[in-house]
Amino acid sequence: MKLTQELLREHAFDSDVEPHRFRSLPEMSNRSASDLNNLELKPTLSQLHADLKLYEHHFEWLNKVSKKHHHPSLPKLVEMIREMKSLINLLHRQMLRVEAPRLTPATPSLPPHLPYQFDVLQSSHELLQHFKLFCDWAYRAFISLKPKVTVVQ
């Protein structure tokens, strides 16, 4: 979450970015704070894992595109991908402990070739904004699931 916020500060735009370049990102509009009390452990862990895998694909694509344009935020992006992989592995181990099923992540639908650096900036901004929202919800979900994990173990 911290790395996402730092990257967003570096990509601050004065105007709105064209939304919906990434059609395969996890849907966040159907997740609300009121749902947190009703989360079930196994399906939520499975869904969070699948969602993180999908974000991983998107950020690896962004990393590849950013390298072509020599983007200055590349080191932080690489660090964020590394942290994401670590979180995915921790989440997978927890899923194994509680015998949560592993979902197949959706196939990412990535934007076509981005010819200009501004297109890369817009795409990274949109992806980071979406991921920030996901991280906020996931953090709250983990906190609400914590008592349920201790009951299962």
CATH number at residue 74: 1.20.1250.10
Kindly state whether residue 140 falls inside one of the protein's structural domains.
yes
**Domains of the chain: total:** 1
Kindly state whether residue 89 falls inside one of the protein's structural domains.
yes
Instruction: Give start and end residues of each alpha helix (H) in 69-116.
Output: 74-98
**Residues 6 or more apart whose Cβ sits within 8 Å of residue 128:** 4, 7, 8, 11
The pTM (predicted TM-score) of the whole model is 0.83
Kindly state whether residue 71 falls inside one of the protein's structural domains.
yes
Kindly state whether residue 91 falls inside one of the protein's structural domains.
yes
Kindly state whether residue 48 falls inside one of the protein's structural domains.
yes
Contact 56, 85 (CB under 8 A): yes
Question: What is the extent of the structural domain holding 105?
Answer: 1-145
In tens digits, the chain (153 residues) has pLDDT values of: 777 677 666 655 444 545 557 777 888 777 777 788 889 999 999 999 999 999 999 999 888 888 877 766 778 888 999 999 999 999 999 999 999 999 987 888 887 777 777 777 788 888 888 899 999 999 999 999 988 777 665
